[in-house]
Amino acid sequence: MTQQLFINVMQAEVRAALMEDSTLIDLIVERQERASVVGNIYLGRVQRVMNGMEAAFVEIGLPKAGFLGLDDNRRGNGGTSTPVHEGEAVLVQITKDAIGGKGVQLSRRVTLPGRSLVYAPQQDRVMISRQIEDEAERDRLTGLMAEIAEPDEGFILRTASVGATGAELAADCEQLRESWQAIEDSQTTRKAPCCLHADIDPVLRVLRDHALGDIDSVYVDNGAAADAARKFCDRVMPGMAERVKVHAGPQEMFEQFGIEEEIERACNRRVGLISGGGIVVETVEALTAIDVNSGRFDTASDLEQMAVRTNCEAAEEAARQIRLRNISGLIVIDFIHMEDDGNWEKIVDILEDVTGHDRNPTRVLGATEAGLVEITRRRRREPLLHTMTEICQACGGVGRVKSVDALSIEILRALKREARVTPPGELVLYAAEDVVDSLENGYGPMVDAVEDESGRTIILRADAEYGRENYDIVVE
């Protein structure tokens, strides 16, 4: 099994794709104007306390107040009962980005992620990632941390800690302690609301969180970003720097390795299966439903055999799509009906095996009496569908179309590609009015950058006959 990490860097957007044996298993998309703030630590001001809900709204300097829920509004880092009061300054950390009309979700249990460790000051507990299953390795890590951890501080050993030496863990620990001390010092000198600590650059964050020891290579399509990545690896990820390579073409990296095609597939309702069947993914406010449809199995001796084969294939693909699309909350999968209980256990085992590799905590709850399999997955960041699409105004929200931002960035890539392969001359783009307006205003500097880089003149022309997702690039 080979794993490769591809990082596509643009001024407007950073995308990272994790491939396993040429199959896309994870995708991270972060836009400049909607960058994730998960992990940022703020000194906030309690705006309103909801006693009936044991929750509070905290002003942290973002457009909307953050939500501090349930136990978090009664617990600081030490776990003592310290309820918050209106007007009070509190130290909080963002645990979930704003989604839809909701503000960010906050916690008072602050943690700082490192390469091998997550630091939990004043927690006084050492925990190990459940994805580290080898008992001998767990015991070894526990023994090392017993010598490193001080009283009144806690740690979580990440998957990346497997095989780490005591010196490596101690170095990671010391860096995290220094970061925490800087936060405490800032807390005493600054006024709420303010940001005391922001997570690292998106490219470096992807490396820290996704470039684990079993990664064979990391490809970055931007020379400066690749240099920064190597320096970061030299500092905190020994042995990883030599695996970072610059993608030099001739094709755009995501196109060459089939990633663009997979992203398009992940934005569709229906995903085909090799068998000829398919799964249909529908997300509503409360849950996501995945329906399994059968194909034709000419070699199947009976309906049960056909159902088992289709369901096994669908279970693996559904689990992959859940991670790829970043679907969270309650997920219900409607498999084809099977009579044998042993076959249902087989399907659940497949789901547990595939979801067990997901960094986002995922639980397979099992099959209901109605033959539905329930899964829960923690909400952390915006679903891929929300990033890549928006509600279609023409159809009243029944379907979705690509957002102006997603389409503008796609066109920037297309202009770069066409400038490289077409004959000399001006490049003229024909597109819908709102798309051209986005390129002229919001993305104007990036269009200029493509002109400077390619030495070609780019002309943008709005045409009322073009739909949102339709555009043409011609040479004049």
Q: Give the C-alpha separation, 466 to 431, whole Å.
A: 6
Q: What per-residue confidence (pLDDT) applies to 301?
A: 58
Whether the Cβ atoms of residue 312 and residue 334 lie closer than 8 Å to each other: no
Q: CATH homologous superfamily of domain 41-107?
A: Nucleic acid-binding proteins (2.40.50.140)
Sequence ranges of the chain with CATH classification 2.40.50.140:
41-107
CATH topology for 3-35+201-260 is Nucleotidyltransferase; domain 5 (3.30.420)
User: Rounded to whole angstroms, how far apart are CA atoms 210 and 159?
Assistant: 10
pLDDT tens-digit map of 383-438: 888 888 877 766 666 567 888 999 999 999 999 999 988 888 899 999 999 999 99
For residue 472, CA distances in Å to 389, 431, 460 come to: 20, 7, 10
What string of H, E and C letters represents the secondary structure of 241-277? HHHEEECCCCCCHHHHCCHHHHHHHHCCCEEECCCCC
Q: Report the pLDDT averaged over residues 287-315.
A: 82
Residue 397 corresponds to which tokens in the numbers above?
Answer: 């929200």
Residue 81 DSSP symbol: B
- Quickly name the fold that domain 112-197 has: Ribosomal Protein S5; domain 2 (3.30.230)
**For the segment 99-112, what is each residue's pLDDT rounded down to a tens digit?**
777 889 999 999 99
Greatest alpha-carbon pair distance for the chain in Å reads 75
Annotate 347-383 with b (16+ C-beta within 10 A) or e (fewer): bbebbbebbeebbbebebeebeeeeebebebebbbbb
Are 321 and 331 spatial neighbours (Cβ–Cβ below 8 Å)?
no
The domain defined by 267-377 folds into Aminopeptidase (3.40.630)
CATH 3.40.1260.20 in the chain, residues? 403-475
How is domain 403-475 classified at the CATH fold level?
Hypothetical Protein Ychn; Chain: A, (3.40.1260)
**Contact by Cβ (8 Å): 392, 401:** yes
pTM metric for this prediction: 0.76
Flag whether pLDDT at 75 surpasses 70.
no
